[in-house]
Amino acid sequence: MAVRRQRDGGKWKGKEADRRRLLARSLPGGYAYVDLEEDLDDPALDEAVIRAGGRVIRSLYDFRGVPERLAERCRNLARGPAEIPKAAVMPGSTKDLPRLIDAYRQLESEEKILIGMGEFGLFSRILATKLGCFLTFCSVSETQAAAPGHLDPQKLVELYRFREQDRDTFLCGVIGQPIAHSRSPEFHNHGYEALGLNGVYIPFLVDDVPSFFRVAGLLDIRGFSVTMPHKQAVLPHLDERDGVLEKIGACNTVVRREGGGWFGTNTDVEGFLAPLAAEVPDLLKSETRATVIGAGGGARSVVYALRSRGIRPLIINRTIEKARALAELFDCEWSGFGGEGLARIRENSDLIVQATGVGMEPETEGDPLPDYRFSGAEVVYDLVYQPLVTVFRKRAQVAGCRTVSGLDMLFAQGAAQFEHYTGQAYPREALDHAK
Ligand code: NAP
């Protein structure tokens, strides 16, 4: 039980004397834990909590950041062995996390509750058991969270399997900015659950990649996925890269090496090819005439993948110089949008891959090629998967085209990552759950 003051992030606006009276009056309710602040000096109330059979959680809040000497300050909170010290601090950047994690290490064998509030600190709520905390906090609803970063209990228990975690739970995750929308935690955690692996996969909001590599070392992270905008920024921190990554220059998968250091690869290539191989294998031959719309990171993986199968796609992009640069790198043809571009797409239309962000939420009305009329013979692959069926894909379906889903690519590249992180194949039954 807590009656939190506004300055501690709570809703209590009344007089302090009234708050203490309310706390005292509530004790016969039989609360196991009563949250009292570090500056609350009321021995009678402390004793009343014990007499009522409860324990005091002695708390410190800092919304300005992660204070220096956090472990020492947390340790000094408890006014006796019956009290549980609690520090809730607010990391404002990935740069603040090593200091927070250091406090967990210093307090490793001591009873405590140590929380990083907000999205940068989310890991601390999910990993409370692994980090040796007495308990974690959650809110009935995330949209009306009682404190910044509270998860709802169902997500904590069902998605992150909070009750099954222990000190040995291995850790993987995904980094990005933003990251809250990511489907990867569902995908990987359902895979761990299906195989009975003692692991958890969590989203990390990251604004500073070098700091995250320190975090990954301190938390002993086994591997992590990388999404926008960090696919290039991780490159200087890798100790080993495979040939795919060398050529593509964008990394979506980082794995801890056995002897130390980090290995980087890109599973988008595998992820892109897998649905084609499953659904339209006849297209994966050098005679296939293909077009790739877009020249960003996704398109780069697509072009590499097609070239690896002997297909030389036409590359179309809004910024024509980028289409040319990508085409020159992979020995392909290129064009801009417009009349000539449309005619050339028609000549290269066995497979049309949509690899721009157009049509993606929240701007779902977008269509990258509104003037292109599908004949119905094209196979259309849209990398965008939010929404699952974009305007572009819908038009293709209505014209009678076979279409391939970006979600299948997402899951296929995720399955390849899963194998890197766990050494095991992704379990098919978990896929239905993740979908
Ligand atoms: P990116 O590197 O930022 O590239 C964005 C591409 O979209 C560029 O070619 C850009 O053209 C083009 N573009 C953006 N706005 C446009 C507009 N209004 N009109 C025409 N072209 C426009 O992004 P990315 O990483 O390649 O991702 C692109 C999309 O693919 C995203 O929706 C992403 O979610 C999706 N994706 C999906 C998967 C999957 O597993 N399914 C994997 C990777 C990517 P300019 O060069 O002219 O700016």
What distance in angstroms lies between residue 354's CA and the mean position of ligand 1's atoms?
Answer: 9
Would you list the DSSP string of 221-266?
--EEEE-TT-TTTTGGG-SEE-HHHHHH----EEEE-TTSSEEEE-
Over 90: is that where the pLDDT of 418 sits?
yes
Determine, yes or no, domain membership for 81. yes
What distance in angstroms lies between residue 356's CA and the mean position of ligand 1's atoms?
Answer: 3
Longest dimension (CA), the chain: 85
Is 231 in the active site? yes
Tell me the average pLDDT across 308-329: 97
Atom 16 of ligand 1, residue of closest alpha carbon = 358
Tell me the average pLDDT across 138-144: 86
The proportion of the chain whose per-residue pLDDT surpasses 70, expressed as a percent, equals: 100
Do residue 225 and residue 273 come from a single domain? no
Do residue 220 and residue 283 come from a single domain? no
List, for residues 242-289, the tens digit of each pLDDT value. Answer: 999 999 999 999 999 999 999 999 999 999 999 999 999 999 999 999
List, for residues 101-123, the tens digit of each pLDDT value. Answer: 999 999 999 999 999 999 999 99
Determine, yes or no, domain membership for 328. yes
* Per-residue model confidence (pLDDT) at position 431: 85
* Per-residue model confidence (pLDDT) at position 208: 98
What distance in angstroms lies between residue 297's CA and the mean position of ligand 1's atoms?
Answer: 7
What distance in angstroms lies between residue 122's CA and the mean position of ligand 1's atoms?
Answer: 28
Query: Of the listed 231, 247, 322, 435, which one is catalytic?
Result: 231
Determine, yes or no, domain membership for 353. yes
List, for residues 395-414, the tens digit of each pLDDT value. Answer: 999 999 999 999 999 999 99
Tell me the average pLDDT across 380-392: 96
Determine, yes or no, domain membership for 418. no
What distance in angstroms lies between residue 358's CA and the mean position of ligand 1's atoms?
Answer: 7
Atom 44 of ligand 1, residue of closest alpha carbon = 298
Q: Which domain holds residue 363?
A: 269-409
Do residue 88 and residue 189 come from a single domain? yes
List, for residues 172-207, the tens digit of each pLDDT value. Answer: 999 999 999 899 999 999 999 999 999 999 999 999
Q: Any idea what the Cα angle at residue 260 is, between residues 411 and 93, rounded to 5°?
A: 65
Over 90: is that where the pLDDT of 143 sits?
no
* Per-residue model confidence (pLDDT) at position 434: 66
* Per-residue model confidence (pLDDT) at position 60: 97
Determine, yes or no, domain membership for 86. yes
Q: Are 392 and 382 in contact (CB under 8 A)?
A: yes
List, for residues 215-233, the tens digit of each pLDDT value. Answer: 999 999 999 999 989 999 9
Q: How far apart are CA 22 and CA 38, in angstroms?
A: 18
Do residue 35 and residue 93 come from a single domain? yes
For a mutational test of ligand 1's pocket, the pick from 179, 356, 381, i.e. the residue with the most ligand atoms closer than 8 A to its C-beta, is: 356
Over 80: is that where the pLDDT of 433 sits?
no
* Per-residue model confidence (pLDDT) at position 338: 84
* Per-residue model confidence (pLDDT) at position 435: 67
List, for residues 322-346, the tens digit of each pLDDT value. Answer: 999 999 999 999 999 988 899 999 9
Q: How far apart are CA 190 and CA 339, in angstroms?
A: 47
For a mutational test of ligand 1's pocket, the pick from 231, 232, 383, 405, i.e. the residue with the most ligand atoms closer than 8 A to its C-beta, is: 383
Q: Are 272 and 302 in contact (CB under 8 A)?
A: yes
* Per-residue model confidence (pLDDT) at position 339: 82
Looking only at the bridges linking them, the beta strands covering 113-116 and 33-37 are unpaired
Atom 7 of ligand 1, residue of closest alpha carbon = 356
| Domain end point (choices 206, 230, 254) | 230
Residues with CB under 6 A from ligand 1: 228, 268, 271, 294-299, 317-319, 322, 355-358, 360, 368, 383-385, 406, 409-410, 413
Determine, yes or no, domain membership for 1. no
SS3 323: helix
Atom 9 of ligand 1, residue of closest alpha carbon = 294
Count of domains observed in the chain? 2
CATH number at residue 109: 3.20.20.70
For a mutational test of ligand 1's pocket, the pick from 228, 272, 318, i.e. the residue with the most ligand atoms closer than 8 A to its C-beta, is: 318
What distance in angstroms lies between residue 414's CA and the mean position of ligand 1's atoms?
Answer: 19
What distance in angstroms lies between residue 233's CA and the mean position of ligand 1's atoms?
Answer: 18
Do residue 319 and residue 223 come from a single domain? no
Do residue 69 and residue 19 come from a single domain? yes
Task: Specify the ligand 1 atom closest to the Cα of 323.
Answer: 46
The rounded mean pLDDT for the chain is: 95
Do residue 321 and residue 173 come from a single domain? no
* Per-residue model confidence (pLDDT) at position 146: 86
Task: Specify the ligand 1 atom closest to the Cα of 294.
Answer: 9
